[in-house]
Amino acid sequence: MVSQSTRVAIIGGGMGGLTAAIALTRIAGVDVTVFEQASRLGEVGAGVTVAPNAARVLDALGVLDRIRSLGAVPDGHGVYLDAMGGLVTDAAWEDSAKRYQNIGMYRPDLIGALAAEVDPERIRLGHRLRSVEPLGSGVRLAFENGVEEDFDAVIGADGIHSVVRKSVDQHPDPVYSGYIVYRGVVDASRLPENWPMISQVWMGDSRHFMCYPLQQRKLFNFVAGIPSDRPLNGPWSGSAEVSELAAEFAGDGWDPRLQSFIAAIERTFWWGLFDHEPLTNWSNGPITLLGDAAHTMLPHQGQGVNQAIEDSMALATFLAAADGVDGIPEAFRRYAAVRMQRTAILQNGSRRAGAMFDAQYEFANLEKRDADIRVGRDFRRGAVFDYDAQKVAEQALTRFRRIPA
């Protein structure tokens, strides 16, 4: 087993990196240091969904109650709607046992809740990674502020433009998908009276709009997917005019209720959506990847953050069983072998979900689109929400131990 003196660096202080720090400390018992390039923890104020499969992990780590107290559990099933607001199907945002439900989280709240579970001495801000150098045993990290430090292992949780990934896999960088999203939050008091406290998705010609409650229902998150070539000519995110967003959903072809929601928006930002084919390798000796660095994923199934949380549990489980420091590379290979298949399926599923929402390709036939969404409702619950990352990793460890050396 690895010991408390085993030093592991996590590059990236986002939701995946912080969850990994909690899991590695509590399950593997190693000495963790998180390096974050920003001068403070936190993200632009928008929402994220903690899905049942991630809630199960957070429960096992002992942090779910804190997160629930800050988030918003919807009143019931969400709904998928056509452009004019007609019901296509409901959306069962819970696991089969109905123990875990979707939790709408304001991103800064989730970052804060996770950071509160990590020793502040273990988080170093203002450290932008410059390079990763494998040593005879361990890894040397060099940062742009001049700091150099050696660790027994390093985990790249540094997002879609990961520096760590370049030391593991020489795949090209993620590519622009041809879509942007407008994102932000709305004060719930600005919405029409009796606005439903559930998730709602309007699906129209080449675009869609989603909203759901956050922060004990004081806020509503919104995400609107729009085709655009904007990120090809400059930055991949920035502030936007609400009027730009409103224009995309104006006219008689869109539900007046949706338009009333957009009228309540005071501020919005845009992000380019990037995609990546599944990587063929996540690990290189004592170096491995986690979250977006490993499996850049479109947001249409709401699984990006949730897969990073699953990764964290699986990684900690395999590392806890490593045969000392020398066993870390094998533990990382086993982790990647188990996680790569799961995340590749969801990467492809997220692309397909986006095509359905926006009536693209074969889903231009709206009857087929609506039928597929109805079928996917129950599949998502069983295949996605019922998944137990800790149990799967433990079962895999048992299989690996049966393989002759």
Domains located in the chain, CATH noted: 7-174+276-402 (3.50.50.60)
| pLDDT above 90: residue 3 | no
Structure tokens given for 206: 């080449």
Provide mean pLDDT across the span 281-286.
94
Provide mean pLDDT across the span 163-183.
85
pLDDT of residue 240: 92
| pLDDT above 60: residue 361 | no
pLDDT of residue 97: 92
Structure confidence by residue, pLDDT tens digits, 285-304? 999 999 999 999 888 888 99
Catalytic residue list contains 212: yes
| Range name among 106-120, 133-147, 185-199, 345-359 with the lowest pLDDT average | 345-359
SS3 state of residue 157 = coil
* Residue 218: other Cβ atoms inside 10 A: 13
Q: pTM of whole model > 0.75? A: yes
| pLDDT above 70: residue 50 | yes
Provide mean pLDDT across the span 66-87.
93
Cα separation of 1 and 19, whole Å?
Answer: 21
Dmax over CA atoms of the chain, in Å, equals 67
Angle of helix 389-402 versus helix 52-60 axis, rounded to 10: 70
Please, which pLDDT band fits residue 20 given cuts at 50, 70 and 90?
A: very high
| pLDDT above 60: residue 31 | yes
pLDDT of residue 132: 95
Q: Among 124, 145, 156, which residue's Cα sits nearest to residue 41?
A: 124
Please, which pLDDT band fits residue 381 given cuts at 50, 70 and 90?
A: confident
| pLDDT above 90: residue 337 | yes
Classify residue 403 as exposed, middle or buried by CB count within 10 Å of its CB (0-12, 13-18, 19+).
exposed
pLDDT of residue 215: 95
What single-letter amino acid sits at 373? Answer: I
Provide mean pLDDT across the span 57-85.
95
Cα separation of 358 and 371, whole Å?
Answer: 15
Mean pLDDT for the chain overall: 90
Catalytic-role residue among 80, 106, 182, 212: 212
Please, which pLDDT band fits residue 403 given cuts at 50, 70 and 90?
A: low
Provide mean pLDDT across the span 97-102.
94
Provide mean pLDDT across the span 28-57.
90
| pLDDT above 80: residue 169 | no
